[in-house]
Amino acid sequence: MCYSTALRKEREKIEKELRKQITVKFDSNSTFKPYYHLNGFTHGNLQIIPMKDSRTIYDASWGIIPDWALHDPETFRKKSNTLNARSESIFDKASFKNSAEDKRCLILADGFYEPHHYNGKAIPYFCYQPSEANPEGDVFLFAGLYNEIDDHTLSATILTTEANEFFMEVHNKGKRMPLVLDSNYYEDWLDDGLSIAEVNELIAIGITHKPFKAHPVSHDLYKRNIDTNKPYIIKPVQKDTLF
């Protein structure tokens, strides 16, 4: 699962950092501001690069709304959780099938949160991809799906997959992880000529091999009525990372 993300960099920094793999610009109508914690259940905006315009970063509300629910998105969201889509079954589920065929997207982040279970309790962990240039974490892209709610509003979901060896230790109960794509497959994921078999092949081979780090953070992440969109929420609660 992946129900909380971070994107802490300014627009210009994001565009510059991604330029090495894909040339994109923020849509002029984007309301994006850097954030430390976005809770998916608030259905706030993710930043996505859609198939329909693979050179532009758009806002998209988190939690995809399928065509058959567009007449009443709020009621659909009360009944259905589409923040994530299991990559193994996107062509089998009514909420995802149409988008999996022709409305795939890349979803921007530079961190996300996963629960680690210890002694019967869930401990939030912040996960990121450090590099020499960005020890606090590079921007990376999730494989995602999107749909139009209306002419001006998009919705999106993050694909998940079986956890790799690292995330089996972090997300040690659910043993899932978001599908972070290797940069070599960004353009392929947005290719509108892919067959179902080719999309499934990309899902199987496309996950990044760049290492992540993770550390435990404040339990405030799981508390209500606390503004956790603050720098402190990504800080380790002990000196060193555990994984």
Residue 97 inside a domain? The answer is yes
Cα separation of 106 and 54, whole Å?
9
Burial class of residue 172, CB neighbours in 10 A (0-12, 13-18, 19+): middle
CATH of the domain at 33: 3.90.1680.10
pLDDT at residue 242, as a whole number: 58
Residue 114 inside a domain? The answer is no
Residue 10 inside a domain? The answer is yes
Containing structural domain, residue 186:
4-109+135-165+176-208
What value does the mean pLDDT take over residues 60-89?
Answer: 97
Q: In this predicted model, what pLDDT tens digit does every residue of 143-191 receive, in sequence order?
A: 999 999 998 999 999 999 999 999 999 999 989 999 999 999 999 999 9
Angle at 143 between CA 198 and CA 207, to 5 degrees: 75
Cα separation of 71 and 68, whole Å?
7
Q: How are strands ordered across the β-sheet holding 121-128? A: 35-39, 4-7, 111-118, 121-128, 213-216
pLDDT at position 16 over 80: yes
Cα separation of 140 and 169, whole Å?
21
Residue 115 inside a domain? The answer is no
pLDDT at position 199 over 70: yes
Instruction: Give pTM, 2 decimals.
Output: 0.96
- In sequence order, the β-bridge partners of residue 108 are 141
Residue 95 inside a domain? The answer is yes
pLDDT at position 241 over 80: no
pLDDT at residue 99, as a whole number: 98
What are the CB-based long-range contacts (under 8 Å, 24+) for 21-25?
21/183, 21/186, 22/49, 22/54, 22/106, 22/183, 22/186, 22/187, 23/55, 24/49, 24/54, 24/55, 24/56, 24/57, 25/55, 25/56, 25/57
Nearest CA to 30 out of 58, 2, 72 is that of 58
pLDDT at position 217 over 90: yes
Residue 232 inside a domain? The answer is no
Residue 46 inside a domain? The answer is yes
Residue 23 inside a domain? The answer is yes
Q: How sure is the predictor about 243, in pLDDT bands with cuts at 50, 70 and 90?
A: low
219 phi, psi to nearest 5 deg: -65, -10
Count of structural domains, the chain? 1
What value does the mean pLDDT take over residues 62-81?
Answer: 96
pLDDT at residue 1, as a whole number: 79
